[in-house]
Amino acid sequence: MNREMKKRLRAAGLWVTTFVLMVIMCVPGLWVVLSAFRPNREILAKPPIWVPEDLTLNNFGKIFGFGAEQVAIPVLSYFWNSMVIALTSTVIALIIGMAGGYAFARFRFRFKNAWFLGLMLFRAVPGIALSLPVFMLWSRLGLIDTQMGLIIVYVSLNVPFTIWLIDGFFRQIPMSLSEAAQVDGCTRWQAFWKIEFPLARSGIAAAGVFAFLTSWNEFALASQLTRSTDSKTLPVGLMDFTAQFTIDWAGMCAMAVIIIVPALILTFLVQKHLIAGLTFGGVKG
């Protein structure tokens, strides 16, 4: 067997392995999506029914209050809370991340490396480990069961990563471009907005998607800091489908699909920037 044949076999083996792993990863999500469109009896059937026999939209009708069967779960309120909290925390995290990332990439200041290391170490701490101290502090400040309380927490969680990611993109943009713009009469702000920001837009979009998905999908901290429909998010609302002796799997899966759809739409809308952001570092200007 020659070297070319061995190379092709290795490539084929890698492709097959990757495909199998991707299928294994996608099966649970596919099961949730299919279960959202079939009745509860079919989900609980033994042996399992892999191919749906009775597809229906009744599960979505129930949770939104349509049809004969309804569930007393304020899905629209949860959706609104999730959207407000995720979008607000993402915008704030991006603003701080752009300022911090640009500062770390372009300026020299005292204890710069120590500050950057401290941010990375803070990001390494799992959010659930902070739940008790955050709960005690928020209860004293009156931020329990408020949207603002969750927004502050999510901004704190997202800022270190957005600074780190955006810093890497600004470092790959030659400073000579900004200096040339300033020589031509631009202020520092104009050079940033007209030259550096457009070049780093892909990285900023990638950081924004990550921050949004982190806030949108987070459950552990939200379950500790929310109590009512004023602040509960969709992931926390999933627990409303559980009772002492029963679980409404069909309704839970339908609500899970509602959680998945906005994330997919966002990823689809910014996929061009995401791909550019992932490949930006591999291309020399």
216 and 125 within one domain: yes
Whether residue 69 lies inside any domain: the answer is no
Q: What is the pLDDT of residues 188-225, one digit of tens each?
A: 888 888 888 888 888 888 889 889 999 999 998 999 99
The residue among 37, 62, 87 that closes a domain is 62
Q: What is the pLDDT of residues 46-75, one digit of tens each?
A: 888 877 777 888 888 888 877 666 677 888
* Partners of residue 247 on adjacent β-strands: 242
Higher-confidence position of 172 and 143? 143
From the centroid of its chain, how far is CA 166? 16
Among 15-19, 52-56, 136-140, 274-278, the minimum mean pLDDT is found in: 274-278
- Checking if the pLDDT of 174 tops 90, the result is no
89 and 192 within one domain: yes
* CATH number for the domain that contains residue 265: 1.10.3720.10
112 and 152 within one domain: yes
This prediction has a pTM of 0.84
Structure tokens at 84: 């407000």
Pairwise CA distance, residues 153 & 231, whole Å: 13
The stretch 70-94 carries a mean pLDDT of 90
Angle ∠(31,33,39) on CA atoms, nearest 5: 85
Whether residue 161 lies inside any domain: the answer is yes
Whether residue 151 lies inside any domain: the answer is yes
Is 277:169 a contact under the CB 8 Å cutoff? Answer: yes
Band (176; pLDDT cuts 50, 70, 90): confident
Whether residue 217 lies inside any domain: the answer is yes
158 and 95 within one domain: yes
Is 145:225 a contact under the CB 8 Å cutoff? Answer: yes
Write the single-letter amino acid at 280. Answer: F
Most confident of 14-18, 181-185, 261-265: 14-18
- Checking if the pLDDT of 275 tops 70, the result is no
116 and 12 within one domain: no
185 and 51 within one domain: no
239 and 104 within one domain: yes
Residues of the chain with pLDDT > 70, as a percent, come to: 93
114 and 58 within one domain: no
130 and 108 within one domain: yes
Is 101:280 a contact under the CB 8 Å cutoff? Answer: no
236 and 110 within one domain: yes
146 and 45 within one domain: no
Residue with tokens 């752009």: 98
The residue among 39, 62, 85 that closes a domain is 62
Main-chain dihedrals φ then ψ at residue 56, nearest 5 degrees: -150, 155
Whether residue 149 lies inside any domain: the answer is yes
Is 229:20 a contact under the CB 8 Å cutoff? Answer: no
Higher-confidence position of 3 and 274? 3
94 and 47 within one domain: no
Which residues form the domain of 204?
75-282
Q: What is the pLDDT of residue 153?
A: 93
Per the structure, how many domains does the chain have?
2
Residue with tokens 């949207």: 147
Whether residue 47 lies inside any domain: the answer is yes
Whether residue 67 lies inside any domain: the answer is no
From the centroid of its chain, how far is CA 176? 34
Whether residue 13 lies inside any domain: the answer is yes
Q: What is the pLDDT of residue 273?
A: 64
